[in-house]
A = this chain, B = another copy of it.
């Protein structure tokens, strides 16, 4: 059970900021330079750079410098790993509900005594 994953920590942490989600949402529709990314954002350039560093550190964004322009693009696999962790939890919960429904359908006369330990 690798819930203590440095990598998931970093991805969710990166997504936990509206500015960084803005940047991701922008890059999803095509690559952009640092100043193109900064333009709609209400903060200094260095601040934007720091957000980009967070996004690059977790692998959500890759960038490449040509001449004096750094061009950034998203790296959707990492987005997917985060999505998959959530999906795994959700489906796990749905499966549990299904099993519970089955049990209740089969054994009508019984006092509700749930509580964990489905291990």
- A residues within 8 Å of B by Cβ? 1, 3-5, 8-10, 12-13, 15-19, 21-22, 24-25, 28-32, 36, 74, 76, 79-80, 82-83, 85-87, 89-90, 92-94, 96, 114-119
Q: Is the CB of B4 within 8 A of A118?
A: no
| Chain B residues within an 8 Å CB radius of A119 | 29
Q: Is the interface of A mostly helix, strand, loop or mixed?
A: helix
Q: 21 pairs across A/B with beta carbons < 8 Å?
A: A1-B22, A4-B18, A5-B18, A8-B16, A9-B18, A12-B12, A12-B15, A13-B13, A15-B85, A24-B89, A25-B89, A25-B92, A28-B93, A29-B92, A29-B93, A29-B96, A31-B115, A76-B93, A76-B94, A79-B86, A79-B89
